[in-house]
């Protein structure tokens, strides 16, 4: 099997997570700067790690309504679709960043280190949620 790639889109940083080849466990991979090289860098990861599907986090509020962040994430997903010919899911990411922050706080990770890690940990929560949901179907 091929790997899945999870994305936590942010205006400054994009958190990236990868699944194992059996698509059971999501692991943090890296944080990509959200600049004009971001999609190229994601394409390199896809090629190097034999990715077969992408999961982009869909930021919505707790009531399920879309926000300004949802629109930006959707626009990023659409740019990916123009550049990459793989299936791309747009997956509910409610509370993924909060959960990532909580996990890092519980692990006594310093504030500076949390800032470096939170985006890729949020991408793990998004990707793991997606894979777990697929297993149940």
Q: What is the pLDDT of residues 24-40, one digit of tens each?
A: 999 999 999 999 999 99
Which of 97, 89, 23 minimizes the C-alpha distance to 61? 97
- Per-residue pLDDT, averaged over 33-61, amounts to 96
To the nearest whole number, what is the mean pLDDT of the chain?
Answer: 90
Candidate CATH numbers 3.30.420.140, 3.20.20.80, 3.30.565.10, 3.30.360.10; the one for domain 3-136: 3.30.420.140
Reply yes or no on whether the pLDDT at 96 is more than 70. no
Which of 72, 77, 57 minimizes the C-alpha distance to 17? 57
Block residue for tokens 């860098």: 41
- What pLDDT does residue 106 have? 72
Residue 136 or 9, more confident: 9
């Amino acid at each position: 099997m091929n790997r899945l790639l999870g994305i936590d889109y942010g205006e400054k940083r994009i958190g990236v997570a990868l699944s194992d080849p059996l698509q059971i466990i999501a692991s943090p991979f890296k944080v990509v700067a959200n600049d004009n090289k971001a999609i190229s860098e994601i394409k390199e990861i896809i090629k190097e790690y034999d990715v077969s599907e992408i999961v982009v986090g869909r930021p919505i509020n707790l009531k399920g309504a879309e926000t300004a962040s949802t629109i930006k994430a959707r626009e990023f997903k659409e740019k990916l679709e123009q550049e990459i010919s793989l299936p791309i899911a747009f997956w509910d990411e409610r509370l993924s960043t909060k959960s990532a922050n909580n996990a890092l706080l519980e692990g006594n990770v310093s504030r500076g280190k949390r800032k470096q890690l939170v985006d890729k940990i949020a991408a793990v929560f998004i990707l793991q949620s997606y894979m777990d949901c697929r297993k149940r179907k």
